[in-house]
Amino acid sequence: MFDLLVNAIPLAVVASIPLLLAVEGELVVQRGGIINLGIEGMMLTAAMTAVVAAQATKSVIAGFAGGIAGAAAIAALFGLFAIVLRADQIVTGTAINLLAAGGTSFVYREVQMFTREIPPLRTDAVLPLAWIAVPIVLGVVLWNSSFGLRLRACGENPEALAATGRSVRTHRWAALMIEALLVGLAGAYLSLALSSGFAENMTAGRGFIALSIVIFGRWKLKGALLGTAIFGLAAAMQYALQAANRGIPFHLLLALPYVVTLLILCGVAGRVRAPQGLGVRQR
């Protein structure tokens, strides 16, 4: 059992990169007072636009840019409804997820390019980016800059920020765009690096798992990294167990990540202190 765990570490580090980037992105928006349930649809859209861009230009870098652009478009739509029209965030997020699931499945059948091979990824710069650079940058921006302080004020007490003459909306838009950047990378990494192209519903709930890990991590970076590591190891163990063929049925192993996430959510012992303005409709 222990050797299985150790052997799973390299796989866990790589396979959980999309999840980690999504966790980091969702942490930023939730600190700003927004629950983006549409993160699942955002990642799925990015996975598709990344492949489209990579195919059109034969360049992986353009593919990642395409993924970010796709995520930004979804973020703009989410912001239009949740920030500008002040709609309920969970209803908006659900609609975005349906929109992305239906939209990508529609485009997948219309465009022939998804059967062709995608350009290969040579050096994996996203790995150190996701595990080292982004956490450091976010740590500095969120907790050691005046922008970060104001953004967290948006999450804790939007009225207080508004009273200082700053715009809550602008800060939330900024947070959404940071999330789009990270989730766009996540979606692109999923379809360009972890798999060989786009497949329908390929995100398979990663966005929802990311949301759960943000809560498990109590809206802190260290908690987010720890949660992703625990989850990543559990998910990698799933493959190791499959390979080891210890008589655990394949389909039950597929359910494992979601059960682990449920347990992770329940592991938030005691009182959780969420940002006070989280999910509250802004006037």
Partner 1 sequence: MRRVLVAVIAAVAAVLLLAFSGALFGHSPIALLAILIRGSIGSRFALEGTLLKSVPLLLTGLSVVIAFRAGVWNIGGEGQFIVGALAALAAARFGVIASLAAAILAGAAWASIASLMRLWRNAPEVLTTILLNFTAIHLLGWCVNGPLRERAAQYPQTDLAAAALPVVGGVHAGTLIALAASVFAWWMLYRTVEGLRLRATGLNPNAARWAGIPVRSQIVRAMAISGGAAGLAGGIELLGVTHRLFERFAAGYGYSGIAVALLAQLHPLATIASAAFFGALVTGAGELQRTADISAGVATFGQAVVILVLIVFEHVRSSR
Question: Which residues inside 36-95 make contact with partner 1, applying CB under 8 A?
Answer: 37, 81, 85-88, 90-92, 94-95
The one-letter amino acid at 137 = V
Query: Judged by CB, which is closer to partner 1: 86, or 246?
Result: 86
Q: Is the separation of the CB atoms in 224 and 24 below 8 Å?
A: yes
Asked if 109 is part of the footprint of partner 1 (rule: CB under 8 A), the reply reads yes
Query: Judged by CB, which is closer to partner 1: 64, or 78?
Result: 78
Asked if 242 is part of the footprint of partner 1 (rule: CB under 8 A), the reply reads no
Query: Judged by CB, which is closer to partner 1: 181, or 210?
Result: 210
Question: Which residues inside 182-241 make contact with partner 1, applying CB under 8 A?
Answer: 200, 204-205, 208-209, 211-212, 215
Task: Please identify which residue in 58, 125, 272, 276 interacts with partner 1, judged by CB under 8 A.
Answer: 272
Q: Alpha helices of 168-249 — where are they, by DSSP H?
A: 168-188, 206-216, 221-244
Asked if 96 is part of the footprint of partner 1 (rule: CB under 8 A), the reply reads yes
State the number of binding residues for partner 1 (CB under 8 A): 52
The gap from C-alpha 116 to its chain's centroid, in whole angstroms, comes to 27
Q: Could you write out the three-class secondary structure of 95-154? A: HHHHHHHHHHHHHHHHCHHHHCCCCCCCCCCHHHHHHHHHHHHHHHHHHHCHHHHHHHHH
**First-to-final CA distance of the chain:** 54
Residue linked to tokens 């500008």: 84
Which residues, at least 6 apart from 109, have a Cβ–Cβ distance to it below 8 Å?
Answer: none
Q: Is the separation of the CB atoms in 49 and 209 below 8 Å?
A: no
Which of the stretches 26-34, 173-181, 217-225, 250-258 binds partner 1 when contact is defined by CB under 8 A?
250-258
Query: Judged by CB, which is closer to partner 1: 55, or 261?
Result: 261
Query: Judged by CB, which is closer to partner 1: 82, or 129?
Result: 82
Q: Which residues bind partner 1 (CB under 8 A)?
A: 37, 81, 85-88, 90-92, 94-99, 101-111, 200, 204-205, 208-209, 211-212, 215, 249-252, 254-255, 257-259, 261-262, 265-269, 271-272
